[in-house]
Structure 1
Amino acid sequence: MSESLRQTIDSAQTSWVGCCWETAFGSRKLNLCGLSSRQALLAARALRGEEAACWRDAAEWLRRVEDDAAHAKELAEQSWTQATSNHFVKAYELLSESAILESKYPVATRYRECLITLEGLIPKKSILEGRLP
């Protein structure tokens, strides 16, 4: 299997692990870029009132972003395994799920790039037989 696919997957997996874009979250317009859910929870615990509530909401939202990033990473790894076993349809489906998760957020389209790379590696026979979307 192509080293370019492995590199593209590695790049996607390391570039998105949480919120990596500018935000104006909640009533306080918090910029959560680069913060983890754990950090936001610590801030919530150190504060009171509306500000603490905003940070608690931010912590929950960041946890969902982190969970989606971790799931996309896991799916991409499974896709790599399928691709190296020449199970291209399954590999494509798994990478598509990663791209769908990523598309919920304003992050770089790294998993979409993985799909494009994989498409270039799929034998023409699989495409001609209609086994891929």
Structure 2
Amino acid sequence: GTVPGEDHEGVKRRLVDKIAELAASDPWMKDHPPVVRFVGYDAEASEIAHDHPIVTLLQRVYEEHTGTKPEISGRQGAADTRFLNKYANTPTVIFGPGSTSVMHANDEYVSIEDFMTAIKVMALTIAEWCGVEEA
């Protein structure tokens, strides 16, 4: 993987070039060059600024509803946020209930309380972001 700001395809190209360079200097590998294939998940990185209005809004709503500050961090993994942030001019964050320590792990779980809190925080954030006023 790459980090935000890196040229994803350029990093892959440099890796392949370096492997070819090293193989060319080896007597056996020179005649049997390795083939590099990128398989599985492979996508460029994305990021959104901590002070972006959608980030600060979500943070404020979360704090108002829970009384605690949310953890704001980067993550490695597959998410559609990269397409929305990079190509669709749609500011996007990843937010969800539970603990990252069990995220995508065997026996992953989330408590009903955390689930309901996340639903309320998301609904209030979306409503405010979209300018919905209480009736």
TM-score range, shorter chain: under 0.3
TM-score, structure 1 as length reference: 0.28
- Which has the bigger relative contact order, CA under 8 A and spacing at least 6? 1
Which one has a bigger Cα radius of gyration? Answer: 2
How does the TM-score come out when normalised to structure 2?
A: 0.27
Whose helix proportion is higher, 1 or 2? 1
